[in-house]
Amino acid sequence: MQEYITKSERETIELGKKLAGSIGPGSIIALTGDLGTGKTIFVKGIAEGLSINDQITSPTFTLVHSYDGFKAALHHFDVYRVSDEDELFEIGFFEYLYSGDICVIEWADLVCSLIPPGAVWVHIERTGNDENIRRITIERVDVK
């Protein structure tokens, strides 16, 4: 497990960009953290690292946004509003996960039983009194 402290939105983006440089097609990134901690900001960094120039926004109401990248396509999920697995089946969640593209799932802790082994888990939390400071832990969970 690796732990990082970021002190600005730009630093959080740069860390996401750094992570993008260490993953490849088929990677799954599971993001956790409270509302407003910077999960979508982190995804912006991943997108930058994949040479995606589109505006990255949270897919809160559509559940998924897809982007074409230089290394692979990026599928960005926000499962905060998902009420049951059927909703995920309807949008093709499992097809995306096993497509060979890169998938990033915000609020992954709400569907953790559906996240395949080998996913990279990223937890983001505010720390201290400064609302810009984040503690970001990255853990690669491999099949045992």
User: Can you give the residue ranges of every domain in the chain?
Assistant: 2-140
- Confidence band for 144, pLDDT divided at 50, 70 and 90: very low
- 31: β partners: 106, 122
Average pLDDT over residues 30-58: 96
Q: May I ask the CATH class of domain 2-140?
A: alpha beta
CB atoms within 10 A of CB 85: 13
- Confidence band for 70, pLDDT divided at 50, 70 and 90: confident
Element (DSSP H or E) covering residue 19: helix 9-20
Q: Does the CA dihedral 26-27-32-35 come out positive or negative?
A: negative
Please give the Cα distance from 102 to 104 (Å, whole number). 7
CA atoms within 13 A on the CB side of 71: 21
**Residue 128 confidence (pLDDT):** 81
Q: Where are the beta strands (DSSP E) in the chain?
A: 2-6, 28-32, 64-67, 74-78, 102-106, 120-126, 134-140
Cβ-contact 56, 40 below 8 angstroms: yes
Q: What are 82-134's pLDDT values in tens digits? A: 988 889 999 999 999 999 999 999 999 999 999 999 999 999 999 988 889 99
Q: What percent of the chain has pLDDT over 90?
A: 85
**What's the chain's average pLDDT?**
93
**Residue 61 confidence (pLDDT):** 86
